[in-house]
């Protein structure tokens, strides 16, 4: 099998970017990635872009827009969408397309402008990630769905609100030094527990925010990496993706996300790695409970012990989880997050070597994409 590496990364600041448009942030992320790779735009042969919903800005066909604005025509472009996992899906499609032998260098990106609402409200738009007909139309929001999962996890395993709060506390602490993060200030457990309840047991500070942002990476086959004389390639060691029930009421359990378990198994098997081998993990903490579910479902601890894992600070000592701030503090532009996670893994590996894992979830877990990257595919 061929080897594929990330050779360039770029992103915008994440936040409420009132003065920026969807095209403007997409363009910036792409240009930064091209500059970081040290290549010319004309060397890029295809573009995949994650973007969750045209309901935010009214703009579909974003992949063609991004190629056009970046002067990348006439390369083929595709927008990939699996809700909040759209960007990781774009990354994986770029990977598969490079493996196909049809391309040597591809840009994978993600972008979402959530503050410019053309149509429905943000919560209505986001419910498009769940079962609009059987969940959304009855009024549930995503905070509500994850609150059900949190409550059940507390019931089955004794997980506490303090443990969930510690997820947010840790992520805010980690974001302080992240120049791209939306929230660069520390918070305390009391801050979380005293913040307004959004959907019990989840407080405001258990929830990731509404965010604008874009992120892009350049990916290349091993032959292209050599030809371009790239000095710091970060290799894809394993990639997995899986689907699960869209609606919560169809699942056998609310305390695990099957798609994560299956996608992680694929990625571990392909890379011949175990959870113990992972140095850095970017996990999908759209709500604090989901970081705990991820820690368990990715195999970093046993099912039910995720809360304790956080409480014992193993998210810093045994493995670095969301070491740049996670969705909670960096922000969560839904269609861009998956590539932002890859970028943070790449930056960690460039700085300190080792192996990183990114887990990106769509909806309440109907999609999960897991990618494992490392500084050396031969290890």
Residues that bind its own copies (CB under 8 A): 1, 21, 23, 47, 52-55, 57-61, 63-65, 67-68, 72-83, 89, 92-93, 96-97, 99-102, 118-120, 124-125, 127-133, 136, 240-247, 250, 258-259, 262-263, 362-363, 366-367, 369
* Min dist. Cβ of residue 117 to its own copies (A): 11
* Min dist. Cβ of residue 378 to its own copies (A): 20
To the query of whether residue 84 is one of the catalytic residues in this protein, the response is: yes
Tokens describing residue 324: 């740049």
Tell me whether residue 67 or residue 230 sits nearer to its own copies (CB atom): 67
Tell me whether residue 157 or residue 235 sits nearer to its own copies (CB atom): 235
In 10 A of CB 317, how many CB atoms? 8
Tokens describing residue 112: 């979402």
SS3 293: helix
Among residues 153, 172, 284, 332, which one is catalytic? 332
CA distances from 5 to 42, 88, 98, 279 (A): 19, 15, 10, 18
Rounded Cα distance between 1 and 229, Å, is 21
* Min dist. Cβ of residue 255 to its own copies (A): 17
Tokens describing residue 204: 């405001």
Rounded Cα distance between 217 and 7, Å, is 7
- Phi then psi dihedrals of residue 55, to 5 deg: -70, -20
Tell me whether residue 240 or residue 333 sits nearer to its own copies (CB atom): 240
Tell me whether residue 232 or residue 245 sits nearer to its own copies (CB atom): 245
Nearest C-alpha neighbor of 50 from the set 76, 95, 87, 77? 87
- Whether the bond between 198 and the residue before it is cis, its omega within 30 degrees of 0, is no
Place of tokens 């009132």: 18
Tell me whether residue 117 or residue 189 sits nearer to its own copies (CB atom): 117
To the query of whether residue 207 is one of the catalytic residues in this protein, the response is: no
Tell me whether residue 216 or residue 262 sits nearer to its own copies (CB atom): 262
In 10 A of CB 115, how many CB atoms? 17
Q: 265 CB contacts (<8 Å, ≥6 apart)?
A: 240
* Min dist. Cβ of residue 78 to its own copies (A): 5
Burial of 123 (0-12, 13-18, 19+ CB in 10 A): middle
* Min dist. Cβ of residue 23 to its own copies (A): 7
Tell me whether residue 233 or residue 335 sits nearer to its own copies (CB atom): 335
Element (H, E) at 241: strand 234-243
DSSP state of 115: S
Among residues 80, 84, 207, 368, which one is catalytic? 84
Rounded Cα distance between 33 and 270, Å, is 27
Q: Are 88 and 219 in contact (CB under 8 A)?
A: no
* Min dist. Cβ of residue 9 to its own copies (A): 22
* Min dist. Cβ of residue 74 to its own copies (A): 4
Place of tokens 């303090």: 162
Residues involved in catalysis: 84, 332
């Amino acid at each position: 099998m061929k080897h594929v590496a990330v050779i360039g990364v770029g992103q915008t600041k994440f936040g409420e970017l009132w003065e920026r448009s969807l095209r403007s942030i997409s363009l910036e992320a792409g240009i930064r990635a091209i500059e970081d790779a040290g290549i010319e735009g004309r060397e890029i042969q295809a573009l995949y872009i994650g973007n969750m919903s045209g309901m935010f800005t009214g703009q579909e066909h974003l992949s063609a827009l991004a190629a056009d604005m970046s002067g990348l025509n006439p390369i083929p472009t595709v927008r990939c969408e699996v809700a909040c996992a759209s960007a990781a899906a774009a990354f994986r499609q770029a990977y598969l397309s490079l493996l196909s032998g049809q391309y040597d260098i591809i840009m994978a990106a993600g972008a979402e402008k959530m503050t410019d609402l053309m149509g429905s409200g943000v919560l209505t738009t986001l419910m498009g990630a769940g079962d609009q007909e059987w969940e959304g139309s009855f009024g549930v929001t995503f905070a509500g769905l994850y609150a059900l999962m949190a409550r059940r996890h507390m019931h089955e395993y004794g997980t506490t609100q303090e443990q969930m709060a510690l997820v947010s506390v840790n992520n805010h602490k980690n974001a302080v030094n992240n120049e791209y993060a939306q929230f660069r200030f520390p918070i305390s457990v009391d801050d979380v527990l005293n913040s307004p309840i959004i959907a019990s047991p989840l407080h405001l500070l258990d929830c990731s925010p509404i965010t604008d942002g874009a992120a892009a990476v350049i990916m290349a086959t091993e032959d292209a990496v050599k030809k371009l004389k790239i000095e710091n390639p970060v290799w894809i060691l394993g990639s997995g993706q899986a689907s699960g029930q869209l609606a919560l009421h169809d699942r056998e359990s609310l305390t695990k996300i099957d798609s994560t378990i299956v996608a992680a198994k694929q990625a571990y098997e392909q890379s011949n790695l175990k959870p113990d081998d992972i140095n850095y993990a970017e996990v999908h903490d759209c709500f604090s409970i989901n970081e705990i579910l991820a820690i368990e479902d990715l195999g970093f601890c046993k099912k039910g012990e995720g809360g304790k894992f956080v409480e014992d600070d193993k998210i810093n000592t045994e493995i670095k989880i969301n070491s740049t701030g996670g969705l909670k503090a960096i922000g969560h532009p839904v269609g861009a997050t998956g590539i932002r996670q890859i970028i943070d893994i790449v930056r960690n590996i460039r700085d300190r070597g080792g192996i990183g894992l990114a887990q990106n979830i769509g909806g309440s877990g109907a999609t999960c994409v897991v990618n494992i990257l490392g500084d050396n595919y031969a290890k």
